[in-house]
Each structure stands twice: as structure tokens, then as C-alpha cells.
Amino acid sequence: MGAVHTPPQPYLVPSQMEQLILKYEEMSSRHIVERVSIFHLEFEAIHPFIDGNGRTGRLLLNLELMKEGFPPINIKFGDRKRYYECFTSYHTSGCDPSQMVFLVEQYVEEELSRYVEIVRNANEISENIIDEEEDEHEV
């Protein structure tokens, strides 16, 4: 996030976290990808811990996705520049979360596609086993 955003003073963290949780609850009518993206951007801006804020924020993002039936995502090391640019964009564009929403959306779609492919492959294996068993019974 660099010089674009300075986390709040430690004494402000508890009230800012409470406000963030209330805001998250108020966004319940929005799509989960948008909600978790905004939550993640704002959680990281509060920076409530001395260390591990990024990992904790991504774990919370994934927990919320899974609670809504979506697969967890793994933001790739190779995408870290793009990931950090989402924070810069958010803090310099009047809190427009669209870049993070798009990033999370792409990762969710990628994971869903991967899951669908796994199910397809499993179905093909099952069908082949059934066909082989039927062939054995015909002999």
C-alpha cells in the first residue's frame, strides 16, 4: 500500500474494526464477491495487527466465500503486483473497489472452472468403470 495510505493509530483500531463489521453486515444485499472485496480492502487499511494482516485478511476473505458456498481462492505470488495495485487504486479513486472485485471475481471463476473440470473427469472415470463392468457381465 506504500505511502498512499497510513493505517490508523492503535487506539482507533477497535472502533474502526467495529465499524467495518457493521458495514459488512449492512452490505448483505450485495454479491459476496463485492462484499468480501470491500471488506478485504478496508481490513487491510485498518491493519489491526503488528504482523500477518495480509494472511489474516485473505483467510477472512476465504472464510466468507466458503460460508456462501464458493471455493476459497489463492492469490498467486505472480499476481502480487496486481493485488497491491488494487489497494492503491482503492485509496486513490475515492474508495472504488472495482479492481479488487474484478481480481477476486477472476479467481473465484477460475476455481469454479477447476472444480467443474474435476467433476467432469470423475464422471468420465465412473462411466468408464460402469461400462467395463457391464462389458464383463455380457461375456
Single out the catalytic residue among 5, 47, 91, 137: 47
How many CA atoms lie within 13 Å of 17's alpha carbon, on the beta-carbon side? 12
Residue 5 bears catalytic tag: no
Contact between 39 and 64 (Cβ < 8 Å): yes
Which residues have a catalytic role annotated? 47
